[in-house]
Every structure is written in structure tokens, then in C-alpha cells.
Amino acid sequence: MSEPLLSVRNLTMRFGGLTAVDDVSFDADQGAITAVIGPNGAGKTTLFNCLTGFYRPSSGALHLQAAGHVHRLERMQGHRIARRARVARTFQNIRLFPGMTALENLLIAQHNDLMRASGFTFLGIFGWPGYRRAEAAAVEKARYWLARMGMEERGDDLAGQLPYGAQRRLEIARAMCTEPVLLCLDEPAAGLNPRESAELNQILLLIRREHGCGILLIEHDMSVVMGISDRVVVLEYGRKIAEGTPAEVSRDPNVIRAYLGEEESAA
Amino acid sequence: MTVPAMLRDAGLAALVALALALPVVGIRTVDTGAVLGLDYRFGWVAIAVGIVFGGRLTALLLYDRLPRGPRRIRTKGLAGRSRTLVRYAAVAFIVFAAALPQLPFSDRYVVDTATQVLIYVMLGWGLNVVVGLAGLLDLGYVAFYAVGAYSYALLAKNFGLSFWECLPLAGAFAAFFGILLGFPVLRLRGDYLAIVTLGFGEMIRILLINWTTLTGGPNGLTSIPRPDFFGLAFTRSPAAGETAFHEFFGLAFSTQHRITFLYYLILILALVTGWAVERMRRLPVGRAWEALREDEIACQSLGINRTTTKLTAFAIGASFGGFAGSFFATRQGFISPESFTFIESATILAIVVLGGMGSQVGVVLAATVLVLLPEVFRDLAHYRMMVFGLAMVLIMVWRPTGFVTQRTPTVRLSDFTPDPGAAR
């Protein structure tokens, strides 16, 4: 592995007097699963929002290395990060298009390609054959991801009426339909039962193996974090307090203190 | 509910009725020659209040006897059949609409009313793009209607352009104004957006009133060129060197010809609008509009440019309003700012909401109801708006989310056969 896929350098995000992310630096490798953990309010989601263009960082650099090109995410406009740098994300509270079907959700993820194929609507409106082919290919890609998520039968169901676990999986499928080089998952296991979390692990391992995209993961569920992560970054109060393999991090005294509290010296 | 509680409830209803009936029914202005006098009819008020009290009490007593249970809400079931059903209904509607002027009962009044319905259908379909699909509440839609009407009137009068030359220009001007409105409101949603669009609609109207040199101010524009049938004018005695419609076809002159022609013109315009909007809904641009309505943040995370998506919705919705405005101007032959007041925007929005947000079929139903109801109750004179209001309330009680609530998915997995070779 020569260059890291994503390198975060001295990232700082301030909201008025509050510093949510304070001088954080770490790397995420190509084809690796990097977990970001930390207690509530540690700045994990803020970090994600900076990465995916929802916030503009106060200072620091975010470099994404893809296809021999360096994208400077901290300078890019929101939707361009997904479109050009190919960073996809899911949300802590699921953000599907609830009134549309699962299949439509997956097609919207392929919007920019389809838009071009439809000649920016001018050709598509007259049923141009090139657009029909592109649409069929897009549906085929959606079908592939539905099958991967074990929900091929539910493609025509409204996304909002799917069971909770299926909604989580559909959101990941939707992110994957944008063909990302970096997939950012914000607590994908939240609200899942142990069996569903185990399935999620398999899905994430499969995505890494077969699609070679890097995964950045915020998670509280330690069975997910410890089971599949290649690297773990630990944040507390906006600062990075530890980084390493899951085994290293779980032994780190700083991490234990952050999660379990200070041991009383003269107990 | 106990009997005293029912009595209290009915009493409350009667009190509301009293407050409404006292000024509306109780006091009437009468012309006493020199001055306007007042005529009091308190007996009528008492009757109205009595009816409301008795009716409410009866309704409560009856309701109490009804079997209770969770109300069934139908969510699915029609999905497969509804598609063919909608298709048949659409074909039946088009056949009926095309045959209407030839039907035995149709006269000038019927065709005129049908033309009015079709104008509102077209406006409803246009506004549906903005409100129903993209979820942007627009209370100033009449502004684009006005822009289209004045564009046609001014271009035709000052430059002698024909209707068909003016139509795309009017659409383009309206779309331009749509984008002009779109830019400042990109960040707004819901109530705030509604207020700004309301203001925009008023701005256009006030501009039309005050820019007297161009628009004629409150007097409006008169003698706007009427449309011709491929160069054949609908006049009894055409200008020298021109041929009139009835001469060319060897018919006796009738004013009905022009009215029928205008009817078919708006029918074609409306059908093209409906076709275009339905096609766009199934294209990436339409899906992006709907996605924007559902969740803007998610759209951005998928690389969809919210700015251009919103602006296209405003521009396309506005251009259909502009087309309809051109037709309005050529039909009336006279336009003034009076025709483009807020009540028009409200009516068009009511059509979209009453039809069921985003539903094409719903717009047709709602436009028909909204235009026909006041016509049907014309005999009730000034009580007809009261009946109209009552009908609206009843419709909203019966169907709170509009006539057609079922959304047809833009694409179905079952329509595409799986191709094992294509999977990556």
C-alpha cells in the first residue's frame, strides 16, 4: 500500500466557542475498514460531516487519493464530493426517500450517470434508445445490490415501509450504487439485533473484498468494530486519543479510561 | 359521549353558526332609491342556527350507535390493477374530451366551460411539477401565467408574431422568471418559501399595474390578435387578401368555429403538458425532484446538485404556466392585472392539493370539480361560494390527502427481466 486512500491532516472544526473536532490526523487505507469510535459527543459525526461536505472545516486538510488524482475535500462543494471524489455516506438516523420504492432509491443514487444518458432530459423524453439501455443497466446494478442485501423481493416496496434492518441495508446499497472509492457509514449497526449485526459484518467484508473500496465506520457496537476493522481511531472530546489495530486499541489505557472512567488510585 | 356532552357540542356548533349567519344571512343591503339601506332577517338566522343545532345533535346520536373499531386504511392491493385502470381512464378521458364539441348536448356554454376546465388542468399539471413533485410550496404561480399572457400580447401586438411563434417565447420568458424566483429561494422551504413566492406573485401583478407605458397599467391590453387556423382567420369578413375559415371550408359563418378551435387548441396544449410531465417524472430529472421533496440532505450525499434540480423544477413548472397564459391571452383578446390576482394562485394550488399531491389524474378530477361546482350552483346566486366552501370542506373530510393518493412508482423491478450476464 503506497499512498493512503484518505489522509486527514490537523482537521479542526469549531462552532463558535465549541471545538467539536480538534486537530485530528489519521489515514484510511485503500481496501481497508477503518473504524472511528469514541463516547457520545466525541466529534465522530462532525468529522463525517466535514468529510462529506456538509460542513466546511475551520482548518486542516482532507486529501483523497483516487485514480492517481488528489481531491482536496475540504475545498469541494457538497454534492461534488459524492460526484467527483466518489465519497458516499449513510446517516446515523436513516435518510432514505421513504415515499419511493427501494428500486427508485437505488436509481436516484445513479442520477448523474442516468442524467447524462438521458441527454439531460432532452433525449430521454422522446424515449431515446441509448437512455433505455442505460436505465436497464442501472436497474440491473440495483438488482445486484438488492440481491446482495438479501432483499431482491422487496425492490418494488416503499422504502419507508421496509423493516428497520432492511432500511439500514438499503441505505448502504444506495451508497454503493454511486460506486464510491470511500464509503462512510455512520453507525450502521445502531438498532440492529445481534444476528443482523453479524449479517452486516458479512456485507461490509464483502464490499471490501469484491469492490475494493475503503470503508470508514463510526460504530458503538464493539462486535462490529472488533470483528472487522483493520484499524481503529479513537476520539474523545474532539481529540484523537489512540489509533491502532483493534487489539492494540482495546488494551490502550487512554481508551479504557475514556470508556470506563478514571480508576480511583487508592481504591 | 353522554347526552349533556352532546348537547354542549351541538350548542357550540350552533354558536359558530350564529356568528357566521348573523352577518352573512341576517343583514342584507337593499337599494332604497337614494341610499343603501339595511334589511334585517333574523328569522332566517334562527332557522339556520336551529338546523345546525339539530343536525349536529342528530349526527352525534347516529355516530354513537355506529360500531367502533380501527378504521381500515388501504395501502396496497390496487397497485397492479391501478396501472391499467389509470391507462383506460386516461384513454376514455381523451376520447370524451376530443368528442365533446360534437356531442348533442354541447353548446357554446359547455365548450366554454370545458375550455376553462382545461386551462386549469394545464396550470395544475404545471404547478404539480413544483409543488407535487419537487415539494416546493409555491403561492405565486399566477405570476408565470401573467408573464405568459403579457408576453404573447406584447409580442403579437408590437411585432406581429403569430400565436405559434409566440408560444415558445412566452414559455421561455416564464421559465426565465421561474429561475429568477428560484435563485433567492434556494435555501427556503415550507412556510418561508410560501411567503416569498406569495410576494413574488404580488410583485409581478403590481409591476403590471404600474408599468403603464408597456402594459397599459390597470386598463390592460386590448385587441390582442386572435389565433388563426393555419393562416385562416375566424372572422366574418376577412381583411383584403386573406381567406376566412368559413370561406375556405365552404361553411356558413359561425362564432362557434372559433370557440371550438380554441377548445381543441387548449386540449392539445394540455395533453402535451400532461405527456411531458408524466415522461419527466419517469426520467432521472423527475426522480431527482421527488427525491428532493423526500430528503434534500440525502440528495446531496448522492451527488445530486440541489441548485440545478430546484431551478429546473421552477423553470419547467413556470414554462407550462407561460404556455397556458399565452392561450388565455389569445382566447380573451383582452388582459389586465385583474386576471392575475392571488385568488388564481390559490385556486391552482387548491387543484393540486385537492387532486392529491403529485397525481396527474387527481389534477384533472380536481380541476373539473373546482370549475364545475360554482357553475352548477350558479342559480344560488351569492350563496354559491358558501356551497362551494362547504363542498371543499366535505371533500377534505372525506379525502384528507386528495382524490388520488396512490403514487405510481416511476419504475418497477418486474418490468425488467433479470439478465445474469449484465451483473457486474
Contacts of A103 in chain B (CB under 8 A): 409, 411-413
Pair (A10, A119) in one structural domain: no
Residue A105 shares a structural domain with residue A82: no
- Using one digit for the tens of pLDDT, what is the confidence trace for A93-132? 999 999 899 999 999 999 888 888 777 877 777 877 888 8
Taking the Cβ of residue B73 and every Cβ of chain A, the question of whether any pair is shorter than 8 Å is answered with: no
A206 lies in the same domain as A81: yes
Residue B218's Cβ-side half-sphere holds a number of Cα atoms within 13 Å equal to 0
At B218-277, the pLDDT tens digits run: 888 888 888 877 777 777 777 767 777 777 777 777 778 888 888 999 999 999 999 999
User: What mean pLDDT is predicted for residues B286-308?
Assistant: 91
Determine which of A81, A103, A145 to mutate to test the interface with B (most B C-beta atoms within 10 Å). A103
Band (pLDDT 50/70/90 cuts) for residue B316 is very high
Contacts of A144 in chain B (CB under 8 A): 423-424
Dmax over CA atoms of chain A, in Å, equals: 80
Work out the burial of residue B164: count CB atoms within 10 Å of its CB; fewer than 13 is exposed, 13-18 middle, 19 or more buried. Answer: exposed
The tens digit of pLDDT for each residue in A194-204 reads 888 888 888 98
Whether residues A102 and A157 share a domain: the answer is yes
Select the residue of B280, B290, B300 nearest A79 (Cβ to Cβ): B300
How far apart, in whole angstroms, are the C-alpha atoms of residue A159 and residue A172?
A: 13
Provide CB contacts within 8 A for B13, sequence distance 6+.
B52, B53, B56
Which residue among A157, A178, A199 closes a domain?
Answer: A178
Strand duo A6-15 + A59-66: pairing: antiparallel
CB atoms within 10 A of CB B334: 13
* Contact between B56 and B10 (Cβ < 8 Å): yes
Count structural domains, chain A: 2
Find how far residue A167's CA is from the centre of its chain.
15
C-alpha cell, B102:
360534437
- The reply to whether residue B409 touches residue A121, judged by beta carbons under 8 angstroms, is no
The residue among B302, B309, B412 with the most chain A CBs within 10 A of its CB, best to mutate, is B302
Of B338, B375, B340, B369, nearest to B353 (Cα)?
B369
- Smallest Cβ–Cβ distance between B283 and the set A83, A124, A142 belongs to A124
Residues A215 and A250 in one domain: yes
Residue A191, Cβ neighbours under 10 Å: how many? 15
Looking at residue B387, what is its pLDDT? 77
Residue where a domain stops, chosen among A178, A206, A235: A178
The verdict on A185 and A145 lying in the same domain is no
Judging contacts by C-beta atoms under 8 Å, the chain A residues touching residue B299 are 79, 108
Q: Are residues A131 and A212 in the same domain?
A: no
Q: A187 and A170 share a domain? A: no
Q: What is the pLDDT of residues A40-76, one digit of tens each?
A: 888 888 988 888 888 888 888 888 887 778 888 888 8
Q: Which of A178, A210, A245 is the last residue of a domain?
A: A178
Torsion of CA A34, A40, A41, A45, to 10 degrees: 40
What mean pLDDT is reported for chain B?
84
Q: C-alpha cell of B181?
A: 424566483
B157 vs A: CB within 8 A: no
* pLDDT score at A112: 84
Q: From CA A177, how far away is CA A179, in angstroms rounded? A: 5
Q: A247 and A164 in one domain?
A: no
Verify that A131 and A8 share a domain, yes or no. Answer: no
> How far is it, in rounded angstroms, from Cα B311 to Cα B292?
12
Taking the C-alpha atoms of residue B298 and residue A98, their distance in angstroms, rounded to an integer, is: 11
Same domain for A1 and A29, yes or no, is yes
Q: Domain range for residue A117?
A: 95-178
Is residue B278 within 8 angstroms of chain A, CB to CB? no
For residue A260, pLDDT over 90 is answered with: no
The pLDDT score that the predictor gives to residue B81 is 57
Band of residue B423 on the pLDDT scale cut at 50, 70, 90: very low
Give the span between the Cα atoms of B348 and B126, in whole angstroms. 10
Strand-pair partners of A234: A37, A242
Tell me the per-residue pLDDT of A175-217, one tens digit each, with 9 for 90 and over.
999 888 899 999 888 888 888 888 888 898 888 888 888 899 9
Q: Using pLDDT thresholds of 50, 70 and 90, give the confidence band for residue B326.
A: very high
Cell of A257: 479510561
| Model confidence band, residue A267 (pLDDT cutoffs 50, 70, 90) | very low
In which order are the strands placed within the sheet that holds A69-72? A18-28, A6-15, A59-66, A69-72
Backbone angles phi, psi at B223, to 5 degrees: 40, 55
Chain A residues with beta carbon closer than 8 angstroms to that of B418: 140, 143
β-bridge mates for residue A27, sequence order: A7
Terminal-residue alpha carbon distance, chain B? 64
Nearest by CB to A89, from B285, B299, B301: name it.
Answer: B301
CA–CA gap between residue B122 and residue B114 (Å, rounded): 12
The torsion defined by the Cα of A172, A191, A19 and A182, in degrees rounded to 10, comes to -20
CATH classification at residue A237: 3.40.50.300
- Asked if residue A110 and residue A165 are part of one domain, the reply reads yes
CB A151 within 8 A of CB A161: no
Q: For CA atoms A84, A86, A87, A90, give the dihedral sign.
A: positive
The alpha carbon of residue B418 is apart from the nearest alpha carbon of chain A, in Å, by 7
